[in-house]
Amino acid sequence: MIQIQNYINGQLVAPKSNSYLDNIDPSRGKVYSKIPDSKSEDINVATAAAKAAFPLWSNMPKEQRSDIMLKVAQLIEERMDEFVGAESLDNGKPESLARAVDIPRAVSNFKFFATAILHFASESHYMEGLGVNYTVRKPIGVVGCISPWNLPLYLFTWKIAPALAAGNCVVAKPSEITPMTAFLLSKVCVDAGMPAGVLNIVHGLGQNVGDAITKHPDITAISFTGGTQTGKTIAGIAAPMFKKLSLELGGKNPNIIFADCDFKTALSTTLRSSFANQGQICLCGSRIFVERPIYEKFRDAFVEKVAKTKVSFPTDPEAKLGAVVSKPHMEKVLSYIELAKEEGGKVLTGGVQVHLDGEYKDGYYLRPTVIEGLDYKCRTNQEEIFGPVVTITPFDTEEEVLKMANSTIYGLSATIWTENLTRAHRVADEVHAGIVWINSWLVRDLRTPFGGVKASGVGREGGFEALHFFTEPKNIFVKLGEGSH
C-alpha cells in the first residue's frame, strides 16, 4: 500500500509522530493508501525550512525561478497518465475529466505564473512639479496555502504557483481526503531541482495541520479555498494576527435562463454546469431559474437528458459522473435530498444512491438529481449542497429573478442565458457575484480576477491579482527639482 510522505526542506519525510491516516478510494469505498497524520511540530519544521530558504528564493533572478517552475510544469505533463490516474482514484471523478480539466489546468497554473511574473511591472505615479512615486512589490516571506478536495491539484497549484512566482516560500496543505497528486507534485519538485525549503507540503487533518499553518507566527499570509465555515474559523484566528488573507469559499450560484436564449446551448451547458465533477465545483449553477414561457419545455428536456446521464466508475470512458468524494459527503448530499422533500420539493429525476456491481459495489455514487417546487427561501435553496443536486424554479420578471438569485448569503458566480445583450449586461450588473458568465459557463482566462462577494470569500485570485496578494507594496517618493516640500 502506498504510504504518502511529507515534503519538507527538499526531502520526502515521515511525520514526526510516525502515525498515518487511511486514504479511501471513493469509487470502491476501500482504503488504498496511507497519509501522514502530521501535527504542529511538522509545520514548525516546514516553516523553519521555508524561512531559511526565503533569502535564496526571493533574491534569485525571476527568470531563474520561472525556469524551475516551467520545469515543474513540463514534468507534470510528461507524467500525465500517472497524475490523471491518481487524481481520479483519489477523488472518484471520471478519468476523462481529470485528463481534460484537472491536470492540464495544474500544468497551466505553473506555466501561467512562471511567465506572468516576467511581465509583472511596478506602478509609478508622477506628481507634476513635485516628483514621482514608484511602488516596489516585494515577496511577503513564508505563506500558507490550504486547499480542498474537489479539484485537488488544480486548486493546490492555483495557489502555490503565484506564491512561488512572486518569490515567496510556501508551506502548503492539500486536503486529507485527496492528498495523492500533491504527493506526486513533491516528487516532481525534487526532480525539477526546486531548492530545498522553497515549497513544503505537509499532509494531515485540517484541525491539526491547517490550524497550525493558520496560527504559525512566521506564516504571514494565508490563501485558503474550502468551506465557508472553515474560512470563518481561519479568519477568526488569522485576522487578529494581521495576516494577509485570501478566502475562496462556497457558492449557491444562480443559472438564469431567459425565454429568448439559445435553447440548445443553454440546455447542454446547464447539464455541465449542474453536474460536472459530480456537482462538486464551487462554481456549479445549483439553482436554475427559467423564464415562464419556456419553463416546461426546458424542464422536460433537461430532466430527460439528466435521466440518461451515465454514472459509472472513474475509468469507464463513458462515465459522465463518477463517485462523490467520501461516504460522509454522500450522506450529507442524500440528507439534503430528504430535506428538499420535507420542504415540499418534488424530485423530478435522481434522488438516490447508485449501486454498481463487483469491485465498485461499495463506492459512493449518486444519481444526478433535479428538484422542483421549492420556495427560493427554503434551506435547500439557500445552503450549499456541493453535490449532484439542482433545483429548478420558474420566474416571470427580471426583478423577480434577481430577488431570488440575490437572496442567499453567497455571491460567487452566476450564469445568464439570453440573446438580448442589453438585458444580459443589466442582469450581470445587478447580480451578487464576483464572476458572471453570459451564454457560457466556466470559460476561464487565468488573467482575470477570480473570487466571490458576501460569504463566498474575501479577495481575488488569478492573474496580477494573485501576484498583488502574494507581494507587499512599498511606495517610495522621490522629489524632483527644487522646492520646499
CB of 251 to ligand LM24SWP5, least distance (A): 8
| Segment contacting ligand NAI by CB under 6 A, of 10-18, 39-47, 146-154, 470-478 | 146-154
Residues 6+ apart with CB under 8 A from 326: 24, 26, 149, 177, 364
Q: What grid cell was written down for 154?
A: 488544480
Q: What grid cell was written down for 95?
A: 478519468
Residue 324 amino acid letter: V
- Using CB atoms within 10 Å of the CB of residue 63, give its burial: 0 to 12 exposed, 13 to 18 middle, 19+ buried: exposed
Q: What grid cell was written down for 380?
A: 435547500
C-alpha 158 chain-centroid distance: 8
Of positions 5, 6, 38, 150, contacts ligand LM24SWP5 by CB under 6 A: 150
Task: For 265-287, give one letter per residue: b (16+ CB within 10 A) or e.
Answer: ebbebbbebbbbbbbbbbbbbbb
Alpha-carbon torsion angle 135, 141, 144, 145, nearest 10: 50
* Binding partner selected for residue 283 from ligand LM24SWP5, ligand NAI, none, CB under the kind-specific 5 to 8 Å limit: ligand LM24SWP5
Of positions 151, 201, 219, 433, contacts ligand LM24SWP5 by CB under 6 A: 151
CB of 155 or CB of 177, closer to ligand LM24SWP5? 155
* Binding partner selected for residue 108 from ligand LM24SWP5, ligand NAI, none, CB under the kind-specific 5 to 8 Å limit: none
CB of 214 to ligand NAI, least distance (A): 5
Of positions 102, 211, 461, 465, contacts ligand NAI by CB under 6 A: 211
Residue written as grid cell 465545483? 281
CB of 321 to ligand NAI, least distance (A): 17
Residue 78 amino acid letter: E
Q: State how beta strands 244-248 and 457-458 pair.
A: antiparallel
Tell me which residues in 423-482 interact with ligand LM24SWP5 (CB under 6 A). Answer: 444, 450
| Segment contacting ligand LM24SWP5 by CB under 6 A, of 60-68, 115-123, 166-174, 279-287 | 279-287
Of positions 5, 96, 225, 312, contacts ligand NAI by CB under 6 A: 225
What is the C-alpha separation between 182 and 301, in angstroms, rounded?
A: 40
CB of 188 or CB of 247, closer to ligand LM24SWP5? 247
Of positions 214, 220, 270, 369, contacts ligand NAI by CB under 6 A: 214
Contact 469, 221 (CB under 8 A): yes
46 sits near ligand LM24SWP5 (criterion: CB under 6 A): no
CB of 426 to ligand NAI, least distance (A): 28
| Segment contacting ligand LM24SWP5 by CB under 6 A, of 150-158, 261-269, 331-339, 463-471 | 150-158
Residue 287 amino acid letter: R
Nearest Cα residue to 149 out of 105, 181, 171: 181
CB of 87 or CB of 211, closer to ligand NAI? 211
Nearest Cα residue to 416 out of 233, 275, 316, 291: 291
364 sits near ligand NAI (criterion: CB under 6 A): no
What is the C-alpha separation between 202 and 220, in angstroms, rounded?
A: 17
Of positions 141, 227, 394, 449, contacts ligand NAI by CB under 6 A: 227
What is the C-alpha separation between 86 and 68, in angstroms, rounded?
A: 24
Tell me which residues in 279-318 interact with ligand NAI (CB under 6 A). Answer: 282
CB of 167 or CB of 254, closer to ligand NAI? 254
- Which residue in the list 248, 291, 384, 465 is annotated as catalytic? 248
CB of 444 to ligand NAI, least distance (A): 15
Q: How many CA atoms lie within 13 A of 56 on its CB side?
A: 11
Q: Is 248 a catalytic residue?
A: yes
* Binding partner selected for residue 452 from ligand LM24SWP5, ligand NAI, none, CB under the kind-specific 5 to 8 Å limit: none
Contact 323, 453 (CB under 8 A): no
Contact 438, 424 (CB under 8 A): yes
* Binding partner selected for residue 206 from ligand NAI, ligand LM24SWP5, none, CB under the kind-specific 5 to 8 Å limit: ligand NAI
What is the C-alpha separation between 156 and 173, in angstroms, rounded?
A: 8
Which residue ranges make up the site for ligand NAI (CB under 6 A)?
146-150, 173, 175-176, 206-207, 210-211, 214, 225-227, 230, 233-234, 249-250, 282, 384, 386
Active-site positions read 248
Which residue ranges make up the site for ligand LM24SWP5 (CB under 6 A)?
150-151, 155, 158, 225, 248, 281-283, 444, 450
